[in-house]
A and B are shown apart, each in its own frame.
Chain A
């Protein structure tokens, strides 16, 4: 016995192949973590490169616009030497004249004028006209330019040029927030009639809230019905919810146009049944009502599905217990049933609201003038090649949506998202 113990390898339970177990476990775990991460990595890279970088790059345009600054080195120098509010003197006008020559040479007067035009509407032609005659300008420049067009003395133009002389700018956010730069370089609210974006921003959120509310009102009863029916019949009725979900958005929008337009099925039905007369057909489409009706229809399944999946697992015995203890059916619903459905309601409401806020297609097709949402304004600026403004509005919308998304993750959890 004594010999055996002497020759045997010391047996140890806390080592594996000479490595302490704790270390071995940690190594195995980090290997497993690495493996799991490697599986996700290709998709993560794909999303970062084709989704996140493009959006980041686009958002950079909201604070970067070199339309004016690329041809205004002389003015930039003068602005750097003189603080905001300085009356433009002869050297300032000389710098302007030198830059106008540059613009003319590079054929960039249009781009420069467009950049100033965002801040001081109507000034684009000022630049194109002055750049054409820039080579003929003689000192004294101030008198020469003012003689050409007295608008060159307008302090607003000079504030705008000061801001635009640097490619980095907050102008587009100012415009997006319905504010502007005053002549002394401060910030003031835009004129009442020019306030466009904040009211639209508010309207987008209010309309989305309204649409979400209607969706909830419509989704709750049918989700409850589906959850309390026997599964076979519930699955059959579920098709009525899932078929719209799977049907093309454009098809559904088309159908609603056909149903709701002046000469459409719904109005035809009302006229034929004598509810309204032929001259007073209801205007249900190409306005705010149209946007609301169609968006409710499109987003309703996103509300029904999460509420249904929560209701399905609520034991019916709770309601029976409440009734047997003397609660009325209303009390049972309010105090026992409703609180248990809240997780589903929260998930549905947030999801529908998030999707509604960013909607573009439906408002564009059926919204007319007053049913447009914030996304449509972004598209408007894109179509006018005012990219910086589109980017600034995009980032405003994105901030709202991401906040809601964060809230969704906190309250519901992204991994709870499911279809069907």
Chain B
């Protein structure tokens, strides 16, 4: 944004003030995420930069919190690090368990919400779709309704899912299935929004062209539609995954002790005595979100290219 040549001194001053303000806002946005990264390598159990850290003394930094992160919950954390130590880690370490649960639940919820969501987005983007606005409002509502209300409702419902039919049929609370279902619901709006946005640039006449050439609906879907909307579907899936991966309230209500996820563990860590171990987890999660953001950005560019939007 260049300053126009006709700007008077006051406008110039304002322009630089404006740039300064913008810089401060960007710092506000990004600083909290950056600050925890060096702090997670702190050799001392403090949440501030020590003198040694500021002078870049290697002794001020250590990996002790990452080490502590791994060994929480292990039976013999101090044993020599041989095969049995690693299997102990895989079996018992609290954060490893949590990571495993997060991935299992996240993948389950992603598959469910992306599958159903993509199908629904295909229907919603057809011009003939009846009651589009109402149905869209219903499908987006899990994002709008406060999560505490959703989680409370599911807690009761999952305790006895067949109560409406007047029979008992076990329970979904304290089970992977329950948490996966809950997270799938919470991920649906993101899939719908992302995939319908991709489909809005989709040329519907391609479908008619394919069927006039004799293709059956499944062929049309897999050979014509899917390749074109795949970037949107994948980014919708990533949204659904990160929603599940970051969700804590539904886990609190629905999951049992065997389904504790990373955010749930973090929640405990923050509520009780916050220790630098949490910063190590946070740093790993920031790295993960950078990876995800990069993927999304690459997908967006690919999608723009496919749709013929060059933009630059």
Taking beta carbons and an 8 Å cutoff, which residues of A are in contact with B?
29, 32-33, 35-40, 42-44, 46-48, 50-59, 61, 218, 221-222, 225, 228-229, 231-232, 235, 237, 239-244, 246-259, 261, 263-265, 268, 297, 300-301, 323, 329, 354-355, 357-361, 365, 375, 378-379, 382, 387, 390-391, 394, 397-398, 401-402, 405, 409, 414-415, 417-420
Contacts and interface: CB of A to CB of B under 8 A. Distances in A.
A297 B35 CA distance: 15
Contacts of B307: none
Contact of B144 (A36, A52, A297, A405): A405
Label chain B's interface by main secondary structure.
Answer: helix
Given A240-B29, A414-B136, A247 B285 contact: yes
Given A239-B293, A243-B293, A247-B289, A36 B274 contact: no
Given A390-B152, A419-B194, A247 B47 contact: no
A261 B276 CA distance: 14
Contacts of A242: 293, 296
A387 B150 CA distance: 14
Interface string B208-241: 0000000000000000000000000000000100
Given A50-B185, A54-B156, A405 B137 contact: yes
24 contacts: A43-B117, A47-B139, A47-B141, A47-B188, A51-B153, A54-B153, A58-B149, A58-B156, A221-B21, A221-B22, A235-B297, A243-B289, A243-B293, A246-B242, A251-B281, A257-B270, A265-B49, A300-B29, A365-B271, A378-B148, A401-B144, A401-B145, A405-B141, A414-B137
B138 interface: yes
Most buried by A among B145, B155, B185: B145
Nearest to A301: B29
Contact of A398 (B31, B149, B293): B149
A357 B147 CA distance: 11
Interface in B115-154: 116-117, 119-120, 122-124, 126, 128-130, 133, 135-142, 144-150, 152-154
Given A36-B128, A39-B119, A218 B282 contact: no
B60 to A, nearest CB: 15
Interface string B26-66: 10111111011001000000111100000000000000000
Contact of B142 (A47, A243, A254, A409): A47
Most buried by B among A40, A52, A57, A420: A40
A53 B7 CA distance: 61
A397 B194 CA distance: 28
B18 interface: yes
B167 to A, nearest CB: 16
A418 B29 contact: no
A239 B182 CA distance: 30
B74 interface: no
B129 A40 contact: yes
The 5 closest A-B pairs by CB, nearest first: A358-B146, A39-B123, A54-B157, A54-B153, A255-B32
Q: How large is the interface on B (under 10, 10 to 19, 20 to 34, 35 or more residues)?
A: 35 or more
A44 B136 contact: no
Contact of B122 (A39, A256, A355): A39
A29 B130 CA distance: 11
Contacts of B271: 365
A258 B39 contact: yes
Interface in B95-124: 116-117, 119-120, 122-124
A301 B26 CA distance: 11
A39 B139 CA distance: 13
Given A43-B139, A414-B137, A264 B148 contact: no
A382 B152 contact: yes
Nearest to A28: B128
A383 to B, nearest CB: 10
Nearest to A255: B32
Given A263-B47, A329-B11, A409 B28 contact: no
Given A244-B29, A247-B289, A255-B35, 16 more contacts: A40-B119, A40-B123, A46-B185, A52-B138, A54-B157, A221-B22, A241-B29, A248-B289, A250-B248, A250-B270, A254-B266, A323-B4, A361-B249, A397-B146, A409-B137, A420-B296
A242 B246 CA distance: 16
A222 B22 contact: yes
B32 A397 contact: no
A409 B270 contact: no
Contacts of A43: 116-117, 119-120, 139, 188
A241 B25 CA distance: 10
Given A54-B156, A247-B285, A268-B49, A360 B188 contact: no
A251 B286 contact: yes
B290 interface: yes
Contact of A243 (B36, B152, B290): B290
A18 B198 CA distance: 41
B202 interface: no
Given A250-B267, A329-B11, A354-B144, A221 B128 contact: no
Nearest to B48: A268
Given A237-B26, A365-B271, A47 B138 contact: yes
B312 A36 contact: no
Interface in B263-312: 263, 266-267, 270-271, 274, 278-279, 281-282, 285-286, 289-290, 292-293, 296-297, 300, 311-312
A277 B289 CA distance: 38
Given A255-B282, A297-B28, A47 B185 contact: yes
Contacts of B245: 248
B137 A420 contact: no
B296 to A, nearest CB: 7
Nearest to A51: B185
Contacts of A29: 128
Contact of B193 (A39, A52, A229, A419): A419
